């Protein structure tokens, strides 16, 4: 082929050039090829490659002119001038706008022209984070025999990984993570130089029975990443270990359900071990202590049982120990508290017992994150810490839940000036929060002291960072409702003793609220108009207070509302028509107020699932439109009002309705026979049907509001109550 002889000539010239004067070199090169720094045939190959690619943001604008070694992303050997490096990574991919649009705007797409094969000396090829639209990974990449580094991560290649990749026997780094690919791994064993292998997200289900012996053919492996690979078998035995120099092993997010295999503990160099999100069972063996080099041990979200082995104390380099969400129990061994390198300790979601004293933390001076406790209401772990303790650490993240930490508020927080998350939930504190805490110079993004016996007033002095959560649920806080800062998006103040009016400027002070729960307090006065500033509001719980007056007209300004619960107040007047503009509304819960007048048609609220207007003074007819527009309705209660007229036949068209309560009204006429045909009411209609299952999920979402009162097994309840009306008609199911 023509180009090879041309490039041989050129190489000769360049090799000789070392003996010539600069002037002669220039002359020589020019006369040979009209080309200063790059080999023409390779330059042409790049141009062909460019032609095949789509390049919406013109990242290849520098690919013009003669010296292709100067083109962006191109690297040449500085003696032979052959191209040896092609870095076409999309570096604009890390969420400029979070929705991937920016990523896409800078991504190459189209096709990889086989002209790439002209670049025979290519050792480095990075196409990561581009978007080849799920197209087949070209098999000719396997012919780039000199490749040492190949990165196709997140490049959206799809289909089956071509076996030709097995020809890349010099490859040191192979990253094919996060592409929608699958493979049987047959080609892998040939890559015996491989130091780094990342197949995150590649479907290896085909190889699940032999992936380990295959990977074990790679003696030089230092890092192995196989998370999200749909592997279900983690063999318990391995005759001998080839990858003895493995530093990083990430097998998280697979489907392993065996015990932890003994051979793992022979890889004594291991730096990091990640087995999170599998379903591994059994005890953690004592041999864990052999992994003396471990810095990161991530075992969360499995089904490990028993206690932590004492040998954990041998892992003296351990910085992160994640054991959350397992079935571990017992006393935490003393040896754990000697791990002075620990930065993050997460043993949450297990049932530990025994006391934890300040001496336990004496050596943990580097600790930044700690997460202890569980989400059951039962308390088995007791903190026994004196009020004058000064901790050796400065925490950023403190998460203690369902432990006995009180009854006093922990004074040792006084020295914790770097906290960003504070969770002391259900920790049996019966105390006021001291002034010094509210005045700490902190910028928090999470404050959760729910389910204690905390009392006193709540000042607005703490600072919060963008998108923060404050949860003071179920305490004895009193005085005016605190407003905190504009950065709060989730605010839970339910079940306290807050009194006085809802501050009139609530909407101005916290315009970014998504979730507001101030139910079960002693708030009085009317609903402030500034609710209309809460344009992001999705959940609004103001039930069980002493609120009065009419509902103001701000509903057009809060279009995202899912749930509105204003029950058990003294609100009066009619329901504003604009409430019917809420197209995403799922629950509208207004019982036990003094509302009157006719009910507007909620024809735009097509997703409404619960409509409860019971125990009010509503009058007029029951609108047939309910039966037409709300095809997801599951609970409809108009009980104890003054509705008149007949029951519209259209109600029978509601396919998932299973609680219908129209009792205690002035309804007349015949009971429509078709009520008995309501599909939701039929006994063979179980909650496993998809619609009803969705309803169960919704109940969980709202478990902090009134819907709890409805009870979480409500999806199993079928009932029709039409009693105490002037209705006539026979047996429904006759
Ligand atoms: C040639 O490349 C080598 C290694 O890539 C580098 O260390 C050296 O500085 C380069 N020489 C010149 C003249 O650029
Ligand atoms: C491959 O590319 C991705 C995304 O650009 C990057 O995060 C990753 O570190 C690269 N892999 C290797 C081994 O360099
Ligand atoms: C590359 O791999 C394929 C498939 O594994 C094989 O058929 C072919 O002979 C190999 N080519 C070279 C040059 O080794
Ligand atoms: C170890 O690796 C070498 C080279 O890949 C291979 O020949 C050998 O079979 C491997 N040993 C095991 C037990 O897999
Ligand atoms: C692990 O180490 C033990 C003792 O050091 C040895 O008996 C065993 O053969 C090793 N297992 C493997 C798979 O290398
Ligand atoms: C583990 O999963 C496999 C299927 O992937 C199943 O056959 C086996 O019963 C499971 N074992 C246990 C202990 O759950
Ligand atoms: C995990 O395994 C346990 C038994 O070991 C089993 O009860 C549980 O259902 C499994 N969980 C999942 C998600 O497979
Ligand atoms: C842990 O260290 C102790 C003392 O150094 C040693 O006796 C013991 O064998 C080690 N255990 C393990 C499992 O490494
Ligand atoms: C902790 O707080 C006390 C009292 O505020 C102070 O005297 C002491 O210097 C602080 N210690 C540290 C380590 O910050
Ligand atoms: C809101 O948060 C940002 C950063 O998260 C911070 O810079 C700003 O000062 C905060 N605003 C308030 C009012 O606390
Ligand atoms: C509210 O959120 C938007 C983004 O949704 C942000 O741009 C704005 O700065 C936030 N406002 C306040 C006062 O935090
Ligand atoms: C319902 O939607 C229609 C069409 O978008 C709109 O014209 C009408 O005003 C809406 N009704 C209410 C009560 O918001």
**Which pLDDT value is given to residue 6?**
33
Selected residue with higher pLDDT from 685 and 704: 685
Point out the ligand nearest to the CA of residue 315. Answer: 8
**Mutational test site, ligand 11, from 466, 467, 483, 534, max ligand atoms within 8 Å of CB:** 466
Domain assignment present for residue 587? The answer is yes
Distance CA(308)–CA(330), nearest Å, equals 8
Q: CA nearest 667: which of 647, 639, 640, 649?
A: 647
Taking the centre of ligand 8 as the mean of its atom positions, its distance from the CA of residue 520, in whole angstroms, is 56
Point out the ligand nearest to the CA of residue 553. Answer: 12
CATH number of the domain within which 683 lies: 3.80.10.10
Task: Please say if the pLDDT value at position 498 is more than 70.
Answer: yes
Atom 10 (ligand 6) nearest CA: 257
Q: Which atom of ligand 12 approaches the CA of 580 most closely? A: 13
Atom 14 (ligand 4) nearest CA: 217
Taking the centre of ligand 9 as the mean of its atom positions, its distance from the CA of residue 434, in whole angstroms, is 17
Q: CA nearest 681: which of 651, 706, 707, 710?
A: 651
Which residues form the pocket of ligand 11, taking CB atoms under 6 Å from any ligand atom?
486-487, 511-512
At residue 650 the predicted structure's pLDDT band, cuts being 50, 70 and 90, is confident
Most confident of 280-289, 351-360, 725-734: 280-289
pTM metric for this prediction:
0.84
Eight-state DSSP code of residue 332: P
**Which pLDDT value is given to residue 694?**
32
**Which pLDDT value is given to residue 712?**
40
Domain assignment present for residue 219? The answer is no
Domain assignment present for residue 452? The answer is no
Selected residue with higher pLDDT from 556 and 33: 556
Cβ neighbours, 10 Å, residue 258: 15
Distance CA(577)–CA(211), nearest Å, equals 63
Task: Please say if the pLDDT value at position 15 is more than 60.
Answer: no
- Stretch among 142-146, 326-330, 603-607, 699-703 having the lowest mean pLDDT: 699-703
Q: Mind listing the pLDDT tens digit for each residue in 529-562?
A: 999 999 999 999 999 999 999 999 999 999 999 9
Dihedral in degrees, nearest 10, Cα atoms 392, 397, 398, 400: -140
User: 302-333 b/e with 16+ CB inside 10 Å = b?
Assistant: bebbebbbebbbbbeebbbbbbbbbebeeebe
Q: Mind listing the pLDDT tens digit for each residue in 437-465?
A: 999 999 999 999 999 999 999 998 899 99
Find out whether the beta carbon of 465 lies less than 6 Å from any atom of ligand 10: yes
**Mutational test site, ligand 5, from 213, 262, 266, 286, max ligand atoms within 8 Å of CB:** 266
**Which pLDDT value is given to residue 36?**
56
**Mutational test site, ligand 4, from 219, 240, 263, max ligand atoms within 8 Å of CB:** 219
Selected residue with higher pLDDT from 422 and 678: 422
Query: What is the arithmetic mean of pLDDT over 646-669?
Result: 88
Selected residue with higher pLDDT from 325 and 603: 325
At residue 717 the predicted structure's pLDDT band, cuts being 50, 70 and 90, is low
Strands (E) across 591-680 are located at 594-597, 610-612, 617-621, 635-637, 642-645, 659-661, 666-670
Query: What is the arithmetic mean of pLDDT over 27-44?
Result: 62
Point out the ligand nearest to the CA of residue 78. Answer: 1
Query: What is the arithmetic mean of pLDDT over 294-318?
Result: 96
Taking the centre of ligand 3 as the mean of its atom positions, its distance from the CA of residue 140, in whole angstroms, is 10
Q: CA nearest 373: which of 344, 345, 407?
A: 345
Atom 5 (ligand 8) nearest CA: 314
Domain assignment present for residue 619? The answer is yes
Atom 1 (ligand 12) nearest CA: 604
Percent above pLDDT 70 for the chain? 87
**Which pLDDT value is given to residue 475?**
97
Point out the ligand nearest to the CA of residue 279. Answer: 7
Cβ atoms of 601 and 630 closer than 8 Å: no
Tally of structural domains, the chain = 1
**Which pLDDT value is given to residue 688?**
38
Task: Please say if the pLDDT value at position 436 is more than 80.
Answer: yes
**Which pLDDT value is given to residue 246?**
94
Task: Please say if the pLDDT value at position 14 is more than 70.
Answer: no
Selected residue with higher pLDDT from 682 and 325: 325
Range of the domain at 505: 488-728
Find out whether the beta carbon of 146 lies less than 6 Å from any atom of ligand 10: no
Find out whether the beta carbon of 311 lies less than 6 Å from any atom of ligand 8: yes
**Sequence-ordered list of residues with C-beta below 8 angstroms from that of 435, at least 6 positions apart, any chain:** none
At residue 232 the predicted structure's pLDDT band, cuts being 50, 70 and 90, is very high
**Which pLDDT value is given to residue 651?**
85
Find out whether the beta carbon of 601 lies less than 6 Å from any atom of ligand 12: no
Distance CA(604)–CA(616), nearest Å, equals 23
Domain assignment present for residue 119? The answer is no
Q: Mind listing the pLDDT tens digit for each residue in 246-257?
A: 999 999 999 999
Selected residue with higher pLDDT from 35 and 294: 294
Task: Please say if the pLDDT value at position 35 is more than 50.
Answer: no
Task: Please say if the pLDDT value at position 95 is more than 50.
Answer: no
**Which pLDDT value is given to residue 123?**
97
Taking the centre of ligand 1 as the mean of its atom positions, its distance from the CA of residue 181, in whole angstroms, is 37
**Which pLDDT value is given to residue 32?**
36
Average pLDDT, the chain: 87
At residue 92 the predicted structure's pLDDT band, cuts being 50, 70 and 90, is confident
**Which pLDDT value is given to residue 711?**
41
Domain assignment present for residue 250? The answer is no
Domain assignment present for residue 654? The answer is yes
Q: Which atom of ligand 7 approaches the CA of 281 most closely? A: 5
Cβ atoms of 480 and 503 closer than 8 Å: yes
**Which pLDDT value is given to residue 248?**
97
Cβ atoms of 559 and 584 closer than 8 Å: yes
- Encoding tokens for residue 213? 């012996």
**Which pLDDT value is given to residue 679?**
63
Q: Which atom of ligand 6 approaches the CA of 279 most closely? A: 14
Task: Please say if the pLDDT value at position 10 is more than 80.
Answer: no
Taking the centre of ligand 5 as the mean of its atom positions, its distance from the CA of residue 260, in whole angstroms, is 15
Task: Please say if the pLDDT value at position 429 is more than 70.
Answer: yes
Q: Mind listing the pLDDT tens digit for each residue in 363-382?
A: 999 999 999 998 887 888 99
**Which pLDDT value is given to residue 333?**
93
Taking the centre of ligand 3 as the mean of its atom positions, its distance from the CA of residue 144, in whole angstroms, is 11
**Which pLDDT value is given to residue 8?**
32
At residue 171 the predicted structure's pLDDT band, cuts being 50, 70 and 90, is very high
Q: Mind listing the pLDDT tens digit for each residue in 608-645?
A: 989 999 999 999 999 888 878 888 888 899 999 999 99
Cβ atoms of 510 and 486 closer than 8 Å: yes
Cβ atoms of 34 and 5 closer than 8 Å: no
Domain assignment present for residue 555? The answer is yes
Taking the centre of ligand 1 as the mean of its atom positions, its distance from the CA of residue 205, in whole angstroms, is 45
Taking the centre of ligand 6 as the mean of its atom positions, its distance from the CA of residue 255, in whole angstroms, is 9
Eight-state DSSP code of residue 450: -
Point out the ligand nearest to the CA of residue 327. Answer: 7
Taking the centre of ligand 10 as the mean of its atom positions, its distance from the CA of residue 464, in whole angstroms, is 6
Find out whether the beta carbon of 77 lies less than 6 Å from any atom of ligand 10: no
Eight-state DSSP code of residue 97: S
Task: Please say if the pLDDT value at position 507 is more than 90.
Answer: yes
**Sequence-ordered list of residues with C-beta below 8 angstroms from that of 514, at least 6 positions apart, any chain:** 489, 490, 536, 537, 538, 539
Sign of the alpha-carbon torsion through 710, 711, 716, 721: negative
């Amino acid at each position: 082929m023509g180009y090879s002889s041309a490039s041989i000539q050129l190489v000769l010239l360049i090799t000789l050039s070392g003996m010539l004067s600069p002037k002669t070199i220039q002359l020589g090169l020019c006369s040979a090829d009209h080309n200063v720094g790059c080999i023409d045939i390779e330059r042409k190959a790049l141009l062909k490659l460019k032609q095949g690619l789509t390049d919406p943001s013109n990242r290849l604008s520098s690919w013009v002119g003669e010296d292709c070694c100067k083109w962006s992303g191109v690297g040449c050997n500085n003696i032979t001038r052959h191209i040896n490096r092609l870095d076409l990574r999309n570096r604009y991919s890390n969420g400029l706008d979070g929705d991937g649009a920016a990523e896409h705007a800078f991504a190459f797409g189209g096709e990889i022209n086989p002209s790439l094969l002209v670049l025979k000396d290519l050792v480095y090829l990075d196409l990561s984070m581009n978007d080849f639209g799920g197209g087949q990974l070209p098999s000719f990449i396997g012919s780039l025999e000199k490749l040492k580094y190949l990165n196709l991560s997140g490049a959206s290649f799809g289909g089956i990984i071509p076996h030709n990749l097995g020809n890349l026997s010099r490859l040191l780094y192979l990253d094919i993570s996060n592409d929608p690919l699958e493979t049987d791994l047959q080609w892998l064993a040939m890559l015996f130089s491989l130091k780094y292998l990342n197949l995150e997200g590649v479907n290896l289900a085909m190889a699940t029975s032999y992936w380990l012996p295959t990977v074990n053919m790679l003696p030089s492996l230092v890092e192995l990443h196989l998370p999200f690979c749909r592997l279900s078998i983690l063999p318990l035995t391995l005759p001998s270990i080839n990858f003895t120099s493995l530093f990083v092993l990430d097998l998280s997010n697979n489907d392993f359900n065996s015990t932890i295999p003994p051979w793992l503990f022979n890889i004594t160099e291991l730096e990091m071990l990640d087995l999170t999100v599998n379903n591994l069972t059994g005890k953690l063996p004592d041999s864990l202590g052999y992994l003396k080099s471990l810095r990161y041990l991530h075992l969360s979200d499995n089904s490990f049982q028993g206690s932590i082995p004492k040998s954990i104390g041998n892992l003296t380099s351990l910085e992160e120990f994640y054991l959350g969400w397992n079935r571990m129990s017992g006393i935490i061994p003393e040896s754990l508290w000697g791990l002075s390198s620990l930065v993050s300790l997460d043993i949450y979601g297990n049932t530990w017992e025994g006391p934890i004293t300040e001496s336990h933390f004496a050596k943990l001076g580097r600790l930044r994150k700690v997460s202890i406790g569980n989400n059951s209401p039962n308390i088995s772990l007791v903190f026994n810490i004196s009020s004058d303790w000064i901790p050796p650490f400065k925490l950023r993240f403190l998460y203690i839940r369902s432990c006995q930490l009180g009854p006093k508020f922990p004074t040792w927080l006084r020295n914790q000036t770097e906290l960003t998350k504070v969770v002391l939930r259900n920790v049996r504190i019966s105390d006021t929060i001291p002034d010094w805490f509210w005045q700490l110079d902190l910028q928090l993004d999470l404050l959760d002291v729910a389910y204690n016996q905390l009392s006193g007033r709540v000042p607005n002095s703490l600072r919060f960072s963008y998108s923060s959560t404050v949860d003071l649920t179920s305490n004895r806080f009193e005085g005016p409702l605190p407003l905190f800062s504009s950065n709060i998006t989730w605010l839970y103040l339910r079940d306290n003793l807050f009194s006085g009016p809802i501050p009139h400027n609530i909407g101005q002070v916290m315009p970014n609220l998504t979730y507001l729960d101030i139910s079960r307090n002693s708030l009085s006065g009317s609903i402030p108009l500034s609710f209309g500033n809460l344009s992001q509001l999705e959940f609004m719980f103001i039930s069980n207070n002493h609120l009065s007056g009419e509902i103001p007209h701000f509903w057009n300004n809060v279009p995202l509302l899912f749930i509105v619960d204003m029950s058990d107040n003294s609100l009066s007047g009619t329901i504003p028509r604009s409430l019917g503009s809420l197209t995403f509304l799922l629950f509208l819960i207004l019982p036990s107020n003094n509302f009157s007048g006719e009910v507007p048609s909620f024809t735009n609220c097509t997703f409404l699932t619960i409509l409860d207007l019971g125990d009010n003074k509503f009058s007029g007819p029951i609108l047939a439109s309910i039966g037409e527009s709300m095809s997801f309705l599951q609970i409809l209660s108009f009980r104890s009002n003054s509705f008149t007229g007949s029951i519209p036949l259209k109600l029978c068209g509601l396919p998932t309705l299973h609680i219908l309560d129209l009792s205690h009204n002035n309804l007349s006429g015949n009971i429509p026979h078709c009520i008995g045909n309501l599909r939701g009411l039929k006994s063979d209609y179980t909650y496993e049907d998809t619609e009803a299952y969705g309803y169960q999920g919704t109940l969980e979402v709202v478990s902090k509001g009134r819907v709890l009162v409805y009870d979480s097994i409500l999806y199993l309840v079928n009932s029709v109550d039409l009693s105490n009306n002037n209705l006539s008609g026979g047996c429904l199911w006759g």
